[in-house]
Amino acid sequence: MALRHEIDDGIGVLTLNRPEVMNAVNRALLTELHGVLQAWRFDRTVRAIVVTGAGDKAFSAGADLKERATLQPDEVRQFLTLIRDTFALVEALPQPVIAALNGLALGGGLEFALACDVRLAAESAAMGLTETALGIIPGAGGTQRLPRLIGPGRAKEMIFTARRVGAREAEAWGLVNRVVPDADLRAAAIAMAQQMAANAPVALAQAKFAVQHGLGVDLASGLAIEGKAYEVCTPTADRIEALTAFREKRKPVFTGA
């Protein structure tokens, strides 16, 4: 099984499960991943998602180059379309997605993490978009998502040099949100996911929508997007539940309605 997936108390956990090849991404893994994401996209029991890699060496070392060497040009194009579509699906999920980087995150591995909402890194983690050293460029969103996250200057440095950055440097650049001891990474990611999942699902989805779609527009348009997203939350039962719980001095119980 190239991908392990489980749901525990509202938290979906995806584990890239090819540790023998540093969790490199091949067509079988992508196909399985795409199918699970499509199912979870509409599953109201999944409130937040954590993505990590099997073993302690890598989140993902990127595309499986051994498989890539066997592909014909048309098959390479099909692979690129599948990986782009899959990472775009990650980004478009209504649930918040946390990448727990438990080792190397290179090439497509880092591009996967960039499509997530939040990135936590183990102290031993290292990451980079190393494609130019292989005669190609980042082809699964890296040239677009990385500069939006850390700025064009630093993104160009990473892409043009193909060098790896350590967890602390990545944190300083804003590439990862937080660095934690290796042994605490999974627990930290689950704890953050639980904190997110405790909030109203519709509000989470609309907040994510507003941020994602407001990034590439002018402020006035962004504020209009925010206003429309707010309007979606107004008639929900969860909003009434939050007000009632506040009045009754208890924690709200959100249902996603």
* Catalytic (active-site) positions: 63, 108, 111, 131
Question: In 3D, which of 167, 193, 188 has the Cα closest to residue 179?
Answer: 167
- 233-244 in b/e burial notation, b at 16+ Cβ within 10 A? beebebbebbee
- Rounded to 5 degrees, what are φ and ψ at 170? -60, -40
Give the whole-angstrom CA distance, residue 12 versus residue 33.
13
Q: Please, which residues bridge with residue 126 across strands?
A: 104, 166
Contact, 95 vs 12, CB < 8 A? Answer: yes
Query: What tokens appear for 232 in the block?
Result: 């979606």
Tell me which residue has tokens 């438990």: 102
Q: Which amino acid is at 213?
A: H
- Cα–Cα distances (Å) from 61 to 21, 57, 146, in that order, read 8, 9, 17
Q: Report how far residue 143's alpha carbon sits from residue 209's, in angstroms, rounded to the nearest whole number.
A: 22
Nearest to 237 by CA among 207, 201, 204, 211: 201
Q: At 137, list the tokens.
A: 């460029």
For the chain, what is the radius of gyration of the CA atoms? 19
